[in-house]
Every structure is written in structure tokens, then in C-alpha cells.
Amino acid sequence: MNLHEYQGKEILNSFGVRIQRGIVASNHKDAVDAAKQLTTETGTSWYVVKAQVHAGGRGKGGGVKLAKSLAEVETISNDIIGMMLVTPQTSAEGKKVNQVLICEDVYYPGDSEPEEYYMSVLLNRNTGKNMIMYSTEGGMDIETVAEETPHLIFTEEIDPTMGLLPFQARKIAFNLGLSGVALKEMTKFVSALYTAYIKSDSSMFEINPVLKTSDSKILAVDAKVTLDENALYRHKDYAEMRDLREENPIEVEAKAAGLNYVDLDGNVGCMVNGAGLAMGTMDLIKQAGGEPANFLDVGGTADAARVETAFGIILKDPNVKAILVNIFGGIVRCDRVAQGVVDAYKSMGDKINVPIICRLQGTNAVEAKKLIDNSGMEIISATEFQEAADKVAEVLAL
Ligand code: GDP
Ligand code: MN
């Protein structure tokens, strides 16, 4: 689950990671109040207005702006709130901005060269260990750094049984070219950051930039935090941070119905039971020349109600031109699934406006095929995997 910058920073702060202070606001009046409060708390007289959307590269898209007075906070917030922010990480239409984070300006005027670093914490799936990735080249697109100057990106792997050891935190600070007070501050920053990552059950932290101020403070100016959804039951307060406005509405609905659904760009809707078979089905659709419109695992109980919900969700995607049902009946018998498909089809009537190809294999597959063929519904049955894919290609006239 992805979080907004202000929520990520809240979590970091709760574990003692120093952050650029900020207050979130959803209209320009609140933004001005937020700025006044920041001045009381931090003494800042300049502010940064930052669009809160689940996408990076906001600065490039005009979603991060410096305000040198309360009047500027008001006009800039007014401009940013409600805008469709387009960044290198959003679609062409962009993301609607509902809130801004009003931050203290931490790039002191007269600071000749504020140092910006890159730091992320994530799981290295190849070694099964968490690692800290870091670079002196912060503030910019890390993908470009990785491509053009990969030697400037360092990684430090952490042994899961021992955790981050003090020498590792010092090594990171040292590799970033720090000494004296800044080295000590960075060592503390890295330790607190790793503790926050572990204790919050996160799956990714990306802090770009980490800033060194001219008086050697180290702080997180940005925070991209992804929480491990499977651990949310341990963090009720984090679960409440979910912002459904940022998520794909069809995926939100599918999740509420207990379906495992991921929206994709193609035109063949898939309804499959089991993640492995779903992946195999998507591969086969591609081999036959089609493109899957979604990944959908309906799970073990493919009864009529579930099949109907799944059809409804698949059909919300206007790109869908055919639906392939591919279900293996192990414990759940194929004839019961077939009955479910037929019942769902009947009850949905003309809401189903695309051809359906249905392949049921496993227990009672023969009975299932008969049931479909004799249903009088326009459902094309198939027995073999390849046959099903070919029939999809046929109806799409590929
Ligand atoms: P992103 O573009 O979505 O990654 O958003 P960031 O939070 O990283 O902000 C983008 C850029 O805004 C940073 O790289 C900084 O250069 C700049 N910025 C952020 N905070 C401040 C600030 O307090 N003062 C000034 N002058 N610039 C800032
Ligand atoms: Mn950033």
C-alpha cells in the first residue's frame, strides 16, 4: 500500500528520523494557517508547497513550489489544489491533487551548495535480505543515475538476524563523503531509518533527497513509503492511511469483493482460479496474439454470485472485447462452476456484450461442457488450453 509523502514522513518522524517539517492542507485558507503554524514552530519565513499525490517527479511537473510569503502560499496552494498534476510517473491526463503539504523551507538562502543524497531501503529478493541503496547523486532521477553512472550507487545488505550494525551505518555516511558532525548525524539518520522500515513493516522506503544543511543537519525532504499490506493487521493506524482516491477504482471494488484483480492494458478479460493458472492464461493469450486486459484470480469458490461479480468487474473496463474463463475444477467441481457461469450470464442479460469463451477442466469437465453447450447461452466452450486461446483469437479476428 502506497502512502502520501506527509503520511510517510509522519511514520519516519515517529521513529526518530529527522524530517523536513510540514502540515497538510486541503484548501488555500488552511494552507495559510498551516504556514503560520510552521513559522511559530520552526521560525521559517519561506515555505515549500508540495502536491500530495501517489507519484514521484512532482517537482518536474510543477507540483513543488517555493513560497516566499503567506500571500504566495495562498496563491500557489490555490493553483495546485484541484489541478491535474502530470509528472514522468503519471499517465498523460495526470493525477488530481486533493491536498498540499506546506513545508518549512530547509534550503537556507545563501547556502551555496546544499548536499542532496539518495537513500532507499528495500528487500533484495535475490539474496532474501533487506538492503540500503544510497548515492551522492540525490535530488535527481535515480533511474538516470543508475543508467549513466551506476558506480555512484552503493548498496549495503543487512543480515536479518543481526539487523543493521553500527559499522554499516558509519560506512554509509563515510561513502557519502561525510565527516565530523555530519557523519555522526548521517549515522543516526540511517539507523533510525532502518528501524522505522523494520518496525513499520514497510516493503519500500525511498528518500530522495536526503538533505545535508549548511549546519550539518541530515533530514528527509521527501518520503515515498510503501507498506506491506499483509502486515497491516498489525498497524490499524496505518491501515487508515489508505487513500482510495489514489487507487484504480475497479481494483478497489474487486478487493472489496475479495477478488484478486489487477488492471492491465489489453482487450481480453480473464477469469481464472489460482494465481499460477492466471499467469499461464495470460501467457497463452499473448501467444495467440491477444493482450490480457486484467489478471483475475477468483479463488477456489467460483459459484454463481462470485462469477457474476467477476464478470461485472471485468466488463467495467471498456477495452474488453472478449472474456476467457479458464477454471480448473479440483475440489470445486466443473459442473458447479459451469452452472455458476450460466446463471451469472442469465442474470446479467444484455450487460454481457462481448463473446465469452469458457474452458473448464478437471473434475466433471465433460458434464460441465454439456451444461454450457446445452444452456442456449452464447458461451463458447473449449476443452484444451490451446483450443481456448485459439477461440479467443478467432472471435477477435486476429
Ligand atoms: P518529487 O519531485 O516528487 O521527488 O518531490 P520532492 O519532495 O523530492 O521535491 C522536489 C524538489 O523540490 C527537491 O529535489 C528540492 O530540490 C526541492 N525542494 C524540496 N524542499 C525544498 C525546500 O525546502 N526549499 C527549496 N528551495 N527547495 C526544496
Ligand atoms: Mn523526491
pTM of the model: 0.85
CATH of the domain at 55: 3.30.1490.20
Q: Are residues 93 and 224 in the same domain?
A: no
Q: Which residue's CA is the closest to the ligand 1 atom numbered 27?
A: 107
Identify the three-state secondary structure at position 75: helix
Residue stretches of the chain with pLDDT short of 70: 109-113, 302
Q: What are phi and psi of 203, to 5 degrees?
A: -110, -10
The reply to whether 189 and 120 lie within a common domain is: yes
Task: Indicate whether 149 and 6 sit together in one domain.
Answer: yes
How close is the Cα of 288 to the center of ligand 1, in Å?
47
Q: Which of 105, 122, 145 is a domain's end point? A: 105
Ligand 1 contact, 66 CB (< 6 A): yes
Do the Cβ atoms of 101 and 52 come closer than 8 Å? yes
Same domain flag for 115 and 195: yes
Q: Are residues 7 and 155 in the same domain?
A: yes
Residues 39 and 135 in one domain: no
Q: Which ligand is nearest to the CA of 222?
A: 1
Q: Which of 189, 220, 247 is the last residue of a domain?
A: 247
CB of 209 within 6 A of ligand 1: the answer is: yes
Q: Which residues of 214-237 are buried (b: 16+ CB within 10 A; e: fewer)?
A: eebebbbbbbbbbbeeeebeebee
Q: Does any ligand 1 atom lie closer than 6 A to the CB of residue 266?
A: no
**Contact assessment for residue 188 and residue 195, using Cβ atoms and an 8 Å cutoff:** no
> What end-to-end distance do the CA atoms of the chain give, in Å?
38
The residue nearest atom 22 of ligand 1, judged by CA position, is 105
Q: Which of 6, 118, 197, 345 is catalytic?
A: 118
Q: Ligand 1, from 221, 224, 225: best to mutate by most atoms within 8 Å of Cβ?
A: 221
* CB of 299 shorter than 6 A to ligand 1: no
pLDDT at 32: 98
Q: How many CB atoms lie within 10 A of CB 385?
A: 15
- Identify which ligand lies nearest to the alpha carbon of 53: 1
The per-residue pLDDT for 111 is 64
What's the confidence (pLDDT) of residue 152?
A: 95
> Residue 151: CB partners within 8 Å, gap ≥ 6?
none
Distance from C-alpha of 122 to C-alpha of 132, rounded to nearest angstrom: 7
> What's residue 378's pLDDT?
87
Q: Are both 154 and 255 inside the same structural domain?
A: no
Residue 166, class by beta-carbon neighbours within 10 Å (0-12 exposed, 13-18 middle, 19+ buried)? exposed
Counting ligands in written order, the one closest to the CA of 207 is 2
Task: Say which amino acid occupies 397.
Answer: A
Which cell is 128 given? Answer: 532474501
Q: What is the rounded distance in angstroms from the CA atom of residue 285 to the CA atom of residue 296? A: 14
Ligand 1 atom nearest to 56, measured from its CA: 3
CATH number for the domain spanning 132: value is 3.30.470.20
Tell me if 115 CB under 6 Å of ligand 1.
Answer: no
Encode 191-230 in three state secondary structure.
HHHHHHHHHCCEEEEEEEEEEECCCCCEEECCCEEEECHH
Does residue 181's CB lie within 6 angstroms of at least one atom of ligand 1? no
Residue 185, CA distances (Å) to 217, 320, 351 in order: 7, 54, 62
For the chain, what is the domain count? 3
Based on the fold, state whether residues 183 and 201 are members of the same structural domain: yes
- 229 alpha carbon – ligand 2 mean position (Å): 23
Quote the pLDDT of residue 109. Answer: 64
Domain range for residue 228? 1-19+108-247
| C-beta contacts of 252-260 below 8 A and 24+ residues apart | 253/313, 253/316, 254/296, 254/313, 257/306, 257/309, 257/313, 258/299, 259/296, 259/297, 259/298, 259/299, 259/306, 259/309, 259/310, 259/313, 260/295, 260/296, 260/297, 260/298, 260/299
Cα separation, 314 vs 114, whole angstroms: 50
E strand or H helix at 335: helix 334-348
In single-letter form, the type of residue at position 157 comes to E
Residue (of 231, 208, 179, 59) closest to 121 by Cα position: 208
Residue 213, beta-bridge partner list? none
The single residue of 137, 185, 206, 246 carrying the catalytic annotation is 206
User: Per this entry, what is the length of the chain?
Assistant: 398
Q: Please identify which residue in the block is written with the cell numbers 553512472.
A: 149
Nearest ligand 1 atom, CA 104? 23
Q: Are residues 170 and 215 in the same domain?
A: yes
Handedness of CA 155, 156, 157, 160 (dihedral sign): negative
Specify the pLDDT at position 45: 94
Establish whether 229 is a catalytic residue: no
DSSP state of 351: G
378 is catalytic: no
Residue 105 CB–ligand 1 contact under 6 Å:
yes
Residues 293 and 224 in one domain: no
Quote the pLDDT of residue 64.
Answer: 97
State CA 115 to chain mean position distance. 29
Mutation pick for ligand 1 pocket among 19, 21, 48 (CB with most ligand atoms within 8 Å): 48
Residue with CA nearest ligand 1 atom 23: 105
DSSP tag of 118: E
Q: How many other C-beta atoms can be found within 10 angstroms of the C-beta atom of residue 147?
A: 9
Q: 308, 310, 305, 298: which is closest to 273 by C-alpha?
A: 298
- Are residues 202 and 214 located together in one domain of the fold? yes
What is the 232 CA–ligand 1 centroid distance (Å)? 30
Tell whether 322 and 371 lie within a shared domain.
Answer: yes
Q: Is the CB of 329 under 6 A from ligand 1?
A: no
CA distance 159 to 372: 55
Domain boundary residue, one of 179, 213, 247: 247
Which residues, in sequence order, are CB contacts of 240 under 8 Å at separation 6+? Answer: none
Ligand 1 near 56 CB (within 6 A): yes
